[in-house]
Amino acid sequence: MSVRDGARTLVVATTNSQSTIVWNPWVAKAAAMSDFGDEEWPTMVCVETANVADDAVVLPPGQSHAMRARIGLTFPG
């Protein structure tokens, strides 16, 4: 999965994650977040690994499931 930001490309490589969630808090949620400036929302994006909907992982008691995300930047040239 990748997100372009002008000349940069944010590359997200995942392990054991079949879903990717991309979100932005927008105006109202940004204002409600104490660690987030009211004017910062237009310049941010959150990318999360997940297993949701048809990709949901159901675990029996005592079991675990681990996901990994490797995030990097690439630049042209």
Q: Give the total number of structural domains in the chain.
A: 1
Give the residue numbers spanning the domain of 51: 2-74
pLDDT at 53: 95
pTM recorded for the entire structure: 0.69
Q: Where are the alpha helices (DSSP H) in 7-73?
A: 26-32
Say how many residues make up the chain: 77
Residue 48 β-bridge partners? 21
Half-sphere exposure of 6 (CA within 13 A, CB side): 1
pLDDT in tens, 13-72: 999 999 989 899 898 888 888 888 878 889 888 889 999 999 999 999 999 999 999 999
**Can you tell me the distance from the alpha carbon of 9 to that of 7, in angstroms, rounded to the nearest whole number?**
7
